[in-house]
Amino acid sequence: MPYRLSATLKAHTSDVRAVNSPTNDTILSASRDSTAISWQRSSSSSSFTPETVIRASTRYVNAVAYIPPTPDAPKGYAVTGGQDAIVNVSSLSSSKEDPDFSLLGHSDNVCALDVTPGGTIVSGSWDRTARVWKGFNLAYELRGHELSVWAVLAVDEEQVLTGSADKTIKLWNQHKLISTFQGHQDAVRGLALVPDLGFASCSNDSEIRVWTLGGDLIYSLSGHTSFVYSLSILPSGGIVSGGEDRSVRIWKDGECAQVLVHPAISVWSVSTMPNGDIISGCSDGVVRVFTEAEDRWASSEELKAYDDMVASQALPSQQVGDIKKSDLGGTEALNVPGKKPGDTKMIRNGDIVEVYQWDADNITWQRIGEVVDAVGQGRKQLYQGKEYDYVFDVDIQDGVPALKLPYNVTENPFTAAQRFLQNNDLPLSYIDQVVNFIETNTAGVQLGSNEEYVDPFTGATRYRSSGNSAPTTNPGPSTYVDPYTGASRYTSNSAAPSSAPSSAYMDPFTGASRYSGASSTPPTSAAPKRIPMAAWNIYRPANVPSMSHKTFEVDGRLRDEISTSSLAMYPHELASFEDTFAYLTHVTDPKSQISNLAIPTTSNVDAIVQILERWPSAALYPVIDLSRIVAAFCPGAFDTPALKSRFIQALLTAGEWSSPWNPPLQKYREINLTLALKTLANMFQEGAKLNESWVNEVLSALNQLPYEVLSKAQRTCLATILFNMSCTQLSSPLDALQRQQFFELALRILQNEKADSETVYRTLFSVGNTLFTMKSGGNSLEPTQRQHLVEILPSISQTFGNEARVQDLNAEVTGLL
Residues 721-772: tens digit of each pLDDT: 999 999 998 888 888 899 999 999 999 999 999 988 889 989 999 999 999 9
Could you tell me which residue, 110 or 563, shows the higher pLDDT? 110
**Half-sphere exposure of residue 540, counting CA atoms within 13 Å on the CB side?**
13
Q: What is the pLDDT of residue 410?
A: 57
Report the sign of the C-alpha dihedral through residues 269, 270, 274, 277, in that order.
positive
Question: Is 213 a residue whose pLDDT tops 80?
Answer: yes
Residue 78: is its pLDDT beyond 90? Answer: yes
Q: Nearest 5 degrees, angle CA 411-CA 412-CA 417?
A: 105
Residue 800 clears pLDDT 60, i.e. is over it: yes
Residue 773, pLDDT > 70, answer yes
**Residue 135 or residue 430, greater confidence:** 135
If pLDDT is split at 50, 70 and 90, which confidence band does 461 have?
very low
Whether the pLDDT of residue 67 is over 80: the answer is yes
The answer to whether the beta carbons of residues 479 and 487 sit under 8 Å apart is no
**Cα–Cα distance for residue pair 256/248, rounded to 1 Å:** 10
Return the higher-pLDDT residue of 522 and 76. 76
Average pLDDT, the chain: 81
The least confident of 212-221, 278-287, 373-382, 571-580 is 373-382
Q: Which of 95-99, 348-352, 652-656 has the highest mean pLDDT?
A: 652-656
pLDDT digits (tens, 9 = 90+) for 93-125: 887 778 999 999 999 899 999 999 999 999 999
pLDDT(258) > 90 = yes
Residue burial 430-456, b: 16+ Cβ < 10 Å; e: rest: bbebbbebbeebbeebeebeeeeeeee
Higher model confidence: residue 314 or residue 227? 227
In which band, very low, low, confident or very high, does the pLDDT at 455 lie, cut at 50, 70 and 90?
very low
Q: Which residues contact 795 (CB under 8 A, 6 or more apart)?
A: none
CA 122/CA 683 separation, integer angstroms: 44
Asked if 162 contacts 152 with a C-beta cutoff of 8 angstroms, the reply is yes
> What pLDDT is recorded for position 528?
52
Report angle CA 107, 110, 114 to the nearest 5 degrees: 130
pLDDT given at position 377: 31
pLDDT score at 409: 66
Q: Please give the pLDDT value at position 384.
A: 60
Counted residue by residue, the chain has a size of 817
Q: What is the CA radius of gyration of the chain?
A: 28
Question: Above pLDDT 70, what percent of the chain?
Answer: 80
Q: What is the pLDDT of residues 9-48, one digit of tens each?
A: 999 998 999 999 999 999 999 998 899 999 999 876 778 9
Dist. CA 625–CA 550, nearest whole Å: 11
Helix (H, G, I), strand (E, B) or coil at 667: helix
Kindly report the number of other CB atoms within 10 A of residue 235's CB atom: 11
Average pLDDT of the residues in 74-92: 94
- Residue 181 belongs to what H/E stretch? strand 176-182
Binning pLDDT at 50, 70 and 90, where does residue 627 land?
very high
Question: In this predicted structure, what is the pLDDT of residue 336?
Answer: 78
The torsion of the CA quartet 85, 86, 92, 96, rounded to 10 degrees, works out to -110
Question: Torsions phi, psi of 205, nearest 5?
Answer: -80, 5
The predicted model scores a pTM of: 0.47
- Are 607 and 623 spatial neighbours (Cβ–Cβ below 8 Å)? no
Q: Find the DSSP H helices in 500-570.
A: 544-560
Residue 431 is predicted with a pLDDT of 65
Residue 201 has pLDDT above 90, yes or no: yes
Residue pLDDT, tens place only, 672-691: 999 999 999 999 988 888 88
Q: What is the mean pLDDT of residues 243-248?
A: 90
Q: Report the distance separating Cα 532 and Cα 551, nearest Å.
A: 40
Q: What is the DSSP string of 760-775?
A: HHHHHHHHHHHHHHHH
